[in-house]
Structures are given as structure tokens and as C-alpha cells.
Amino acid sequence: MSSTRKSTKRSRPEPPPLQSLKKQAPNAKISDDLDLDVSSDLKGIMSALQQIREKAHEDGRKKKEESISSVSTEVKSKIDELKSKLEKERQNFAKALTKSSKECESLLKDEAAKFEELHHKFMKEKSDHLQGLKDIVSKFEEDKERLFMRYEQQRKKDKTMISDQEKFCAEKLAQLEESLKTKKRGDKTFSILRKTLGSFLENEASDEEFPPDDQVAELSYNLQSHHLIVLVALKLRMPPKGTIALSASSMSTRNAQSPLQIIHVSPLPHPLKLLRC
């Protein structure tokens, strides 16, 4: 734009200065006609200069407008290009953001569905486990209650059995005392019988060493049975044999306190040998 102005100034003719014209006027005062001609020429020159100036201004204005228009067009095109580029980048960014958001939303939906499924499964398993624990506890409580009732029944039964056995043992002890008294009387009778039989056998013995078989067998059986019963009763502190019949439960109760002792009783010698002692 500045170069255009400089070229316009160089091409335009410069009017002569007014002072030079005034200096020349006194020298050119030859006649009035010359003055009039000079003044008219000056007016023509001034008008021409004025026209040239106006034209120059008009040309400069047009060039300025053209320069401004070209620059504005270029700037506008650059702005439009930049705007379209920014709009395109914005659209690309919006598309990428939309795609990313859709993918993220899809992944979130999948994960939420998986989490919901796992949560539902966990809650179901939790309820099943809790129900199983409740069933086990209730079954344990029922078993405990049933066992407690059985324990109470067994305890009452054991108390009854122990009471019955105490009564039974008391009766048998009384019978044992009575049998011991009877034994003492039998021992006295047996001593008298032995003395009597000894004196009888010593006086009556000839070729036969023993009395008749019936008498010997009967005497041997009575003596052996009576002696065996008394020995077992004294050893076990129980009633004589054949007078007590303990049940299995009572025997197990007694075995816990005083275990049963098996006694091997040797057979008695021949009654005649006893009599001769």
C-alpha cells in the first residue's frame, strides 16, 4: 500500500510554488494582457492540479479499498479455513468422545449385569447356607432335648433300680444272717453226728470198711452241698447258692463297685475220712 502511494506521488507533476510566481510577476509586468493570460493560465494549472489531486485521491482510495478488500478476503478465507478446521476437529473429537462414551457405557452395562448376577448368586448361596445352619442348629437342639429326656428317664430308671437292688440286698443280707445262724446250729448237729457215727463205726466195723452205699451217698451229698454253699456265701458275702437270682442290669451295677470273684472249691474228701479226723 505504501509503495502504491509513492508511485502515485512520483507520477503526479508538482505545481510551481506561489512565491516563485509572485517573484516573476513584477518582472513580467510588460502589459496588462500578459497578466491576464498568466492569471488564466495559473487558474487552469490550479484547476488541473486540483483535478489531478482529486483523481489521485480517488485512485488511492480505490487502491486502498482494493487492498483492504483483498486483505479482508484473505483474512476471511483464513478465518473460514481455520473455522472449518476447528469445526472438523471438534466433530472428530465429538465422534471419538461419543464412541468412547458408548464403549464405556456398554462395558459398564456388562459389568453391572455381571455384578448383579454375582450378587444374586451370592445372596442365594448366603440364604441357602443360613438355612442349612438353622436346620443344623434346630436338629442339634432337638437331639439335645431328646438326649436330655432320655438321660432323665435313664437317671430315674437307675435310681429305681438302685433302690430295688438296695432293698433286694438288704433282704438277702437278712436271709444270709438267718442262714448263718442255721449253719451254726447245723455245725453243732454235724459235730454231734460225727461223734456218734465215729463211735458207731468203730464199734461195728468188721470186714467192711465203709457203711452201706445209700447212707454214705446221702451223707456225702448233704455234707458237700451244705459246705459248698456256706463257703461261697462267706467268700462273696452273698446269699447262699440257689436263693439269689440277680438280673443282668443289677450284675453290671455291682461289677462297677465290687467285681465278682470266681472261686474254685476243691471237692470234699470222703465223709468217712472226715468222721475219722
Structural domains in the chain (count): 2
Quick check: 127 pLDDT over 50?
Answer: yes
58-72, 92-106, 118-132, 231-245: least confident range: 231-245
Q: Judge contact between 183 and 230, C-beta under 8 A.
A: yes
Last residue of a domain, one of 66, 99, 132: 99
Look at residue 119 and tell me if it is in a domain: no
Per the structure, the complete domain to which residue 215 belongs is given by 205-276
The Cα 107–Cα 102 span in angstroms is: 9
Three state DSSP letters for 124-157: HHHHHHHHHHHHHHHHHHHHHHHHHHHHHHHHHH
- Residue 155 identity (one-letter amino acid): R
CA–CA separation, 146 vs 14, rounded Å?
A: 139
Query: Among residues 67, 83, 99, which one ends one of the domains?
Result: 99
Q: Are 253 and 161 in contact (CB under 8 A)?
A: yes
Note whether residue 136 is domain-resident. no
pTM as predicted: 0.30
Which position has the higher pLDDT, 47 or 265? 47
CA distance 172 to 246: 11
Q: How far apart are CA 234 and CA 187, in angstroms?
A: 15
What proportion of the chain, given as a percentage, has pLDDT over 70? 57
Q: Please, is 259 exposed, middle or buried when counting C-beta atoms within 10 Å of its C-beta (0-12, 13-18, 19+)?
A: exposed
DSSP state letter for 173: H
Helix (H, G, I), strand (E, B) or coil at 74: helix
pLDDT for 213 beyond 70: no
